[in-house]
Amino acid sequence: MERNVLEFIREHKIIAIVRGIPSAQIVQLVQAMVDGGVRCVEVTFDQSSEEKRQDTLKSISTIRETFGDQVSVGAGTVMTVEQVHQAREAGAEYIISPNVNEAVIRETKALGMVSIPGAYTPTETAAAYEYGADIVKLFPAGILGPAYIKALKAPLKHIPLTAVGGVSPENCASFIEAGCIGVGCGGNLVSAKLVNEGRFDEITKTAEAYMKALQG
């Protein structure tokens, strides 16, 4: 499973970051993104309450049950080993974290899942990879910029990177050109306002814009 998931992410390049969207709206949202060409979806843990953490897990399981192999779904903002296990049981194929947590990375790999921790510096990036990360998420990419990523890749070209934070249809291709294997897109693609207003066609159009930009 692991190799296929990695290949899937590399092939499709965009991971849509779903944050703060109730599970009741998840099918319509994911369908809108699939219609626009997006195939990788990260549902982030809402750490504010146990009820919201459980709703995250419900969204993950709903995506797996509804879309099957059409979509690769992962869990985001995973902060503990317990949440790694919960996400796996819900059907997550990869684990994304905002930080470099050795225990989370090692447990993710022990369970046969893809590990994508978040880093900011060369030291954090190298440490994450040493702990077993498959891909390292550079955040916030919009502030760091493609030039930073290009400089980072010079000594660390063996480490696969994704760019997250401030990635838009206008700049996403520049991060790939700088050496990233993919990008993570949150509010610019997955707008809670559009979801709440039922404007899923606009989400599809934005997804299409990202895909068009990455396909050149």
Burial (CB < 10 A; 0-12, 13-18, 19+), residue 65, is: exposed
Q: Of these residues, 13, 93, 109, 137, which one is catalytic? A: 137
Catalytic residue flag (residue 42): yes
Q: Average pLDDT, stretch 136-146?
A: 95
pLDDT tens per residue, range 165-191 = 999 999 999 999 999 999 999 999 999
Question: Would you state the pLDDT for residue 215?
Answer: 87
> For 100-113, what is the mean pLDDT?
97
pLDDT cut 90: percent of the chain above it: 96
Q: Is the pLDDT of residue 100 over 70?
A: yes
pTM of the model: 0.96
What domains, with CATH codes, occur in the chain?
Answer: 2-215 (3.20.20.70)
Which of 13, 42, 107, 109 is catalytic? The answer is 42
Residue type, 211: M
Q: Can you tell me the mean pLDDT for 88-104? A: 98
Query: Residue 18 above 90 pLDDT?
Result: yes
